[in-house]
Structures are given as C-alpha cells and as structure tokens.
Amino acid sequence: MESILFLGTCEEDGSLGKPARETLGVASQLAAQLRASFAVGLIGTSVQEAANQAADSGATRFLGVCGSDFSHSRYATDAAAAEALCRAANATLILAPGTSRLMRCLPGVAHRLNGRADTHVTAVAANEGAITAQRWYYRQRMEARFTRSHRPWFILIDPGAAPVWSGTSRKVEVENIEVVLPDSARKTEVTGFREPEAGLNTIRPDADLLFVVGAGWTKKQPDGKVHAAEAEQLILEFLKHTRCSLGSSKSLVDLGSEGQPVLSFLSHLNQIGQTGSTPRHPKGLATCCHGEEPHTIGWRFISERRAINLDPQCGWARGKADVLYVADAFAVLKRVNELLKGT
C-alpha cells in the first residue's frame, strides 16, 4: 500500500506557487487512483496559507516545517526540513514540483532515506497498482516510461507538465514538525537575488511567447555589412512590446562571451537547446536560427511555432515549425514593432 506525500515550498507571500499547484494536482489524482493515504508537507516561513489552499486536495494530513531558517532556498536547511516531513508522513511516494529549490535538496534527502529520486518527470500514471513515470533522456532526444521498485521514490514533476490544480481554500489543521538544525546547516547564507536588467528578458516561464534569436542576426546583410546595433535595437523593442521570453542559440551566446561585437545583452541564461534550457511556452517565434535536430531541441516543448528565415530549407523550421516565413527578419521585425507600438 503506497503512502503519498506532496512536498512543496511556500512562496514569499506564503502561498503555493504555480508549479506546486500543478504537482499537487498530480499527487491528488494519483492518491485517488491508488486509494493511497495522502499527506501534504510544506516548508516555508509560514505554511498555514499554503495548507489552506490545498484543503480540497483530498489530503488527510497537513504537515509543516516553518520558521525563518526555512524562508530561503538553502541545501542544508531544505534537506533537513524535507527529511523530517518525509519521515513524519512515512511516505513511500513523494511528489514535488521540479523547482530549483527542491531539485537541489530532494535527491540528497532520497539518499538519506535510502530512496531514489527521478527529476524532470512529465507524467505519472497508475495502472493496476503499478506506478509509471515518464521523462526525457539525452536532452529531450528520447522519452522513456519506467517503473521503480525502490521506496521511497521521489518524483519531481517538471513545471508546466501538468494542469494547475485549484480548489476552495479553507482553514486546515497543520501539524508542525520540529527540526533542530546543527550549526553547520547555517554555514551558507543567502545574500540576495539578481534580476535581469530592466528591459532585458531571459527565459521567463510565465511568458506566452518564446522569442529565439539566432546567429543570423549578426551575419553580413545584403549591403555587405553587419548590423548588430540595429539588430539589438529591433530585438529590445520587440521584447519591450511583448514581454516575451528571450532565447538564443549557443553559438550566438558564446560569441558574446568571447568579446566579439554581437548582441551584447545575451548571456548563457538565454541559451536554449542541447546545452541550454528547453522552456515550455504556448508560442515560439524563431528568427535567423539555423541548425538541425540537436539545436532545435530548445523548442521541443513550444506548442505553436513560427520561424522567420531567408533559407526555406532551414532545419529549425521545416517539419518543426507550423509556419516558416521566408523573409528578411530585419524588415519584418521592424514592421512588427511598428504595429505593436500602435496597438
């Protein structure tokens, strides 16, 4: 008989974030299918509001580790809190959102409990009592379905892979789990956060559109000259109007780090594809991108895809985009910006 624990961290305002609510839905559904005992475990400064949000999830226990030591993302304290919650719930299956905070600490907790952890899981299903997880291998090149006999089994669900769960909020009784931290757990101190400069976007999971810029923006144009400055201005204006996610190919980012005169605002945080991120957005617009399969992995999880390219055979687009505009991206984006500005 499985015992399921949904494990989440609270946002700064004490609520459950979108990835947490997505995973809560998966856990709730799985618990109902397996008729398993179901508990919610939360970590944060204060967990009451998040627990209230999960009241309708079918969970019968609400456990919390709270206090100022658990407000920030730090391996030692997060791992201690998660370990305490898992032990208190005596869970065999732990479902958690694949956020940077939990991705960092839960594999370590799995080791402490002699369990196993699978991350980047995109689906979990129960069939005649057997639980199957699904995830990608080799950087989104192939997808596998598998089962594990090891327990406890930590399953971290990729953000955006499941619908967002919602239910009526009502007050629930939270069992506070005491965690005594050794001094060594405070060896690391979170000192702050860095945001992209105003007007410059990187990968923003909440954006509706992913805008991908390729190396073509920095190649010689029909007049025989490079127009990197003009490209920068057009791209920045497009970002300002659409507030989209900005992705780039590795080659373009690498050129920037080598000090060559390219698009100065790009960094490795923008990199998508085989050695970058594979973000999930409803729409994607690729401009001046080239390359075959390994490079196109960056928009594996983009639902609607369009591309602008001068090459009608472009591997980024043919068979991978819904629409390919064979056109000069400079001219098109300039007019797009004018139209967006006027609306």
| Binding to other proteins, residues 268-287 (CB under 8 A) | 268-269, 271, 274-276, 283, 285
20/9 Cα distance (integer angstroms) = 8
The residue range among 27-35, 164-172, 192-200, 217-225 that interacts with other proteins, by the rule CB under 8 A, is 192-200
Residues 6+ apart with CB under 8 A from 217: 228, 231, 235, 252, 263, 287, 288, 329
Of 29-37, 38-46, 221-229, 316-324, the window that binds other proteins (rule: CB under 8 A) is 316-324
Q: Interaction with other proteins in 49-88: which residues (CB under 8 A)?
A: 73-76, 79
Contact 314, 333 (CB under 8 A): no
How far apart, in Å, are the Cα atoms of 140 and each of 134, 212, 292? Answer: 12, 18, 14
Positions in 248-267 near other proteins (CB under 8 A): 254, 257-258
Choice between 10 and 106, CB closer to other proteins? 106
- Only one of the segments 26-34, 47-55, 84-92, 183-191 lies at the binding site for other proteins (rule: CB under 8 A); that segment is 183-191
Return the residue of 191, 198, 220, 223 that touches other proteins, per CB under 8 A. Answer: 191
**Shorter beta-carbon distance to other proteins: residue 229 or 340:** 340
Q: Which residue number, 62 or 154, has a Cβ lying nearer to other proteins?
A: 154
Please pick, from the candidates 21, 101, 281, 290, the single residue that binds other proteins as defined by CB under 8 A.
Answer: 101
- Closer to other proteins by CB, 52 or 140: give it: 140
Q: Which residue pairs, CB below 8 angstroms and at least 24 apart, start in 177-182?
A: 177/63, 177/64, 177/65, 177/81, 177/84, 177/85, 177/88, 178/84, 179/65, 179/70, 179/80, 179/81, 179/84, 181/69, 181/76, 181/77, 181/80
The H or E element containing residue 240 is helix 228-242
321-340 residues near other proteins, rule: CB under 8 A: 321-328, 331-336, 338-340
Q: Of 128, 173, 178, 206, which one interacts with other proteins (CB under 8 A)?
A: 206
Binding residues with other proteins: total (CB under 8 A): 100
- Residue 154: closest CA among 102, 88, 78, 101: 102
CA–CA dist 131, 294 (Å, integer): 31
Footprint on residues 113-172 left by other proteins (CB under 8 A): 116-120, 132, 136-139, 141-150, 159
